[in-house]
Structure 1
Amino acid sequence: MRRHLTFPCGPDTLIGTLDMEAATGSTGILLVSGGREIRAGSWGGQAQLAARLAAAGIPVFRYDRRGVGESEGTDPGFLHTRHDIAAALAAFRAAVPSLRRVIGFGNCDAAAALMLHGADIGLDGLVLANPWTLETDEADGEQGTGAPAAIRQRYLAKLANPREVLRLLTGGVNLAKLARGLRAATKPAPRSALVDRMAASLARFSGPVTILLATGDRTAQMFEAVWPSGDPRVQRHASSGHSFAGEDAQSWLLERLLEAAR
């Protein structure tokens, strides 16, 4: 069963979608979209995920934040979405009175937003996928591709490609550029003030937390480069898809969310 509803966020009206079976459990998932992505997600991926969770007895609430999709208002950017998330959580609880626990799930900057605000709005657990670690709302090509972890990943991929190795051996590679790249790859990853805020806010969160990383994803690599390596909450999947595209990765993501809801 899927129904659409409206709810207030200050003076603005936001649009949400509720997926649930007629007989549902007491735990739900609040799905927070990343970037300026509408609540259906890339290629409808979030809508499909919500339907699969609902079929397993987990109600799911998705919404468009202010200024995105069908919702009114001005987009505040992910750093300032506390009120949007809190309003969506209140609407979810009102729509499904049987809920006792709500798990927040977000990918990329939605994960960062949940890390920043989850401790203050009444969520009971968090599932954070490929958290965004840059201060900007959108990926900056130079910042993203220039991160040491991303550079190392690119060079490893090139060394595994016989054609690239042949280019190196036959002089088809700019050695000065290669040297600059290798120097950049050995630099320690810079830790931004945003990461410090995310870590401090997450430390205040009293519920269970799961961090999911697609090991081939550049955003996940950037997160790993600045996050404690021994964090037991981190789980990894050998996927290059930022949104865990592909049936195997999607099934893995679904299982992790079901585990969190249980």
Structure 2
Amino acid sequence: MKERYISIASGNVTLSAILHTPAKDNATDTHDTGVLIIVGGPQYRVGSHRQFVKLSRFLAMHHIPSMRLDSSGMGDSSGKRVAFYQQDTDIEAAITSFLQHCPQLSNVVLWGLCDAASAILLQLNQHDPRISGAILLNPLVRQQHNHATVMLKHYYLKRLFNRQFWRKMLGGDLLLRLSISELWLAFKQRNAKQAPDTQLLMTNERNYVPLMLHGWQQFNGHVLVITSGNDLTAQEFLQLCTSDSAWGNCLQSAQQQHIAPANHTFASKEWRTQVEQYSADFVLHKAK
């Protein structure tokens, strides 16, 4: 396995990435599909608990090239940090660089966790033929009413059956009173749906969820969705797929894996290994 630093020009900024390729003597076994790992949230290309590093090394062991990218303003990349729904220029530049450095590749699979998974679905609106697949882990679909429903069902309801909760309430705990206020606000917000603002030219925090759906609907490639059982972000996504038939149809058409005990970042060795194996199997199956 070989690892090397790559510098990528993206508009007026320079992006940093690490390219992982299989050992030279196994070059003939290298697949024609690579994995571009998109990083979301306030982190860089290493990932929480070195998740992305370990994933890339696992893929290389299975003869799958991969690239870990720092988006603008993150890690070693220059420029101002951009929101996840504004990563299209960085992703396009990374795909171009990836294929240039690995000429044996004919296409890429985009891999992302949380808002990086959201960025990937938004990227699919670009109709890029170089993207043959997407691996989405706990996609972020934060909407006020949907978030309120999930909080009521998976957070506040559990607290009502917690002995510590009632002990604090009877003791007049200030933080508890604030929590109850949040509960009432969540209850009011649950039915306060807002019309999606999809007419704006620029993707923003108000219209990114319907645009994610549009990208998924028009994509002709393969999709793998991996969700955690112990994660509110995943529950919001699954709730949306249950309540909205269009989202539900997209999920049904995808390959699905659910790791019931896992948290948001698949923080244990067991959960991480499952994610790595699911990801490699998906790419290897596509390459046949």
| TM-score normalised by length of structure 2 | 0.77
The separation in 2 between residues aligned to 1:237 and 1:255, in whole angstroms, is: 13
The separation in 2 between residues aligned to 1:94 and 1:39, in whole angstroms, is: 20
The partner residue of 2:236 within 218, 222, 227 is 222
* CA RMSD in angstroms, aligned pairs only: 3.0
Q: Number of residues paired by the alignment?
A: 254
Q: Does 1:147 align with 2:148?
A: yes
Q: Show the counterpart of 1:30.
A: 36
The separation in 2 between residues aligned to 1:253 and 1:103, in whole angstroms, is: 15
Alignment of 1:85-234 (within 5 A): 85-120=91-126, 121=128, 122-134=130-142, 147-158=148-159, 161-164=162-165, 181=183, 184=186, 187-188=190-191, 190=193, 193-227=207-241, 228-229=247-248, 231-232=251-252, 233=254, 234=256
SS of the residue corresponding to residue 131 of structure 2 reads coil
SS of the residue corresponding to residue 156 of structure 2 reads helix
CA contact (8 A) 1:134 1:194 kept: no
Structure 1 portions without partners, runs of 5+: 136-142
In the TM superposition, residue 103 of structure 1 has moved relative to its aligned partner by: 0.6
Once the two structures are superposed, residues 196-221 of structure 1 have per-residue CA deviations (whole angstroms, 9 ceiling, x without a partner) of: 11101111111011222112211112
Distance 1:188 1:236, change over 3 A: farther
CA contact (8 A) 2:146 2:239 kept: no
Once structures 1 and 2 are overlaid, which stretch shifts more, 87-96 or 15-24? 15-24
The separation in 1 between residues aligned to 2:181 and 2:101, in whole angstroms, is: 58
CA contact (8 A) 2:49 2:267 kept: no
In the TM superposition, residue 261 of structure 1 has moved relative to its aligned partner by: 0.3
Q: Show the counterpart of 2:200.
A: none
In the TM superposition, residue 13 of structure 1 has moved relative to its aligned partner by: 1.6
Q: Show the counterpart of 2:199.
A: none
Paired residue type of 2:226: L
Q: Does 1:41 align with 2:42?
A: no
CA contact (8 A) 2:118 2:212 kept: yes
In the TM superposition, residue 222 of structure 1 has moved relative to its aligned partner by: 1.8
In the TM superposition, residue 152 of structure 1 has moved relative to its aligned partner by: 1.4
Q: Does 1:62 align with 2:68?
A: yes
SS of the residue corresponding to residue 147 of structure 1 reads helix
Runs of 4+ more than 6 Å apart: 165-168, 170-177
Distance 1:146 1:16, change over 3 A: closer
Paired residue type of 1:101: N
CA contact (8 A) 1:149 1:222 kept: yes
Once the two structures are superposed, residues 180-236 of structure 1 have per-residue CA deviations (whole angstroms, 9 ceiling, x without a partner) of: 837945935847532211101111111011222112211112222223446322432
Once the two structures are superposed, residues 75-97 of structure 1 have per-residue CA deviations (whole angstroms, 9 ceiling, x without a partner) of: 22111111100111111111111
Alignment of 1:249-260 (within 5 A): 249-260=271-282
